Amino acid sequence: MATILTVSASPSTHSKTARTRSVVDAYLTEAGHTVHALDVRDLPASALLSADHSDPAIAAAIELFESADGVVVATPVYKASFSGLLKTLLDLLPQRALAGKVVLPLATGGTLAHVLVLDYALRPVLTALGSPVIVQGHFLLDHTITIDAGNGRPAFTADSEDSLRRAVDSFVRELGYRVPVPVAA
């Protein structure tokens, strides 16, 4: 099975983006993959903004990218682009940080007009970082996600949940083509 890094680029712990990422983590874990979650908002702001690679938290984040077979990037859409947190993180990664990795871009936003952020803003940056396979990005409208006030878990409309599951399945399928399966001795 694969080692997967999932990244939430939302500034809020309780955002629909962060909660959606946690559902993706559960899907991937259920499928037998090792999942490491990275919340960009938890990285030290000063080190992140100054690209301080010597900071232990920044070095650990870079190592998570290096050791992953696949990366899921989840971002809210702000002003027709992905979050500044995500841009700041991607800017400090080594030039070929995504070389050999399968990437699934996910975005949440308030209107379908923002769906283009996946292909016209995020995909070029992920490509520039060397990913050979960026699966079809997936966009979720905010109104298709509700957060349970009691337990904080997200709930999706049936169509939205099905489409998210299909996006994750496509990502896993691509990983399967690239990650060698250990052979029993």
Q: Give the model confidence (pLDDT) of 45-93 as tens digits.
A: 999 999 999 999 999 999 999 999 999 999 999 888 999 999 999 999 9
Could you say which DSSP state residue 69 is in? S
Could you say which DSSP state residue 179 is in? S
Buried/exposed code over 10-49 (b: 16+ C-beta within 10 A; e: otherwise): bbeeebbbbbbbebbbebbeeeebebbbbbbbebeeebbe
pLDDT over threshold 80, residue 181: no
pLDDT over threshold 80, residue 118: yes
By the 10 Å C-beta count (0-12 exposed, 13-18 middle, 19+ buried), 86 is classed as: buried
* Separation between Cα atoms, residue 138 and residue 83, nearest integer Å: 16
What are the pLDDT digits (tens) for 137-176? 999 999 999 888 777 788 888 999 999 999 999 999 999 8
pLDDT mean over 112-140: 94
> Using an 8 Å Cβ cutoff, are 76 and 117 in contact?
no
Return the CATH class of domain 3-178. alpha beta
> Using an 8 Å Cβ cutoff, are 34 and 2 in contact?
yes
What are the pLDDT digits (tens) for 5-53? 999 999 998 899 999 999 999 999 999 999 999 999 999 999 999 999 9
Ranges of beta strands (E only) in the chain are 3-8, 34-39, 70-78, 81-82, 102-109, 133-134, 138-141, 145-147, 154-156
Banded pLDDT at 126 (limits 50, 70, 90): very high
* pLDDT of 180: 58
What are 73's strand-pairing partners?
Answer: 7, 105
* pLDDT of 157: 87
Query: Considering only CA atoms, which of 34, 89, 84 is closest in space to residue 61?
Result: 89
Global pTM reads 0.93
Query: Considering only CA atoms, which of 28, 55, 26, 31 is closest in space to residue 43?
Result: 55
pLDDT over threshold 60, residue 185: no
Q: Which residues contact 128 (CB under 8 A, 6 or more apart)?
A: 95
Banded pLDDT at 4 (limits 50, 70, 90): very high
> Using an 8 Å Cβ cutoff, are 172 and 179 in contact?
no
* 63, two tokens: 């190592």
* pLDDT of 100: 94
* pLDDT of 179: 63
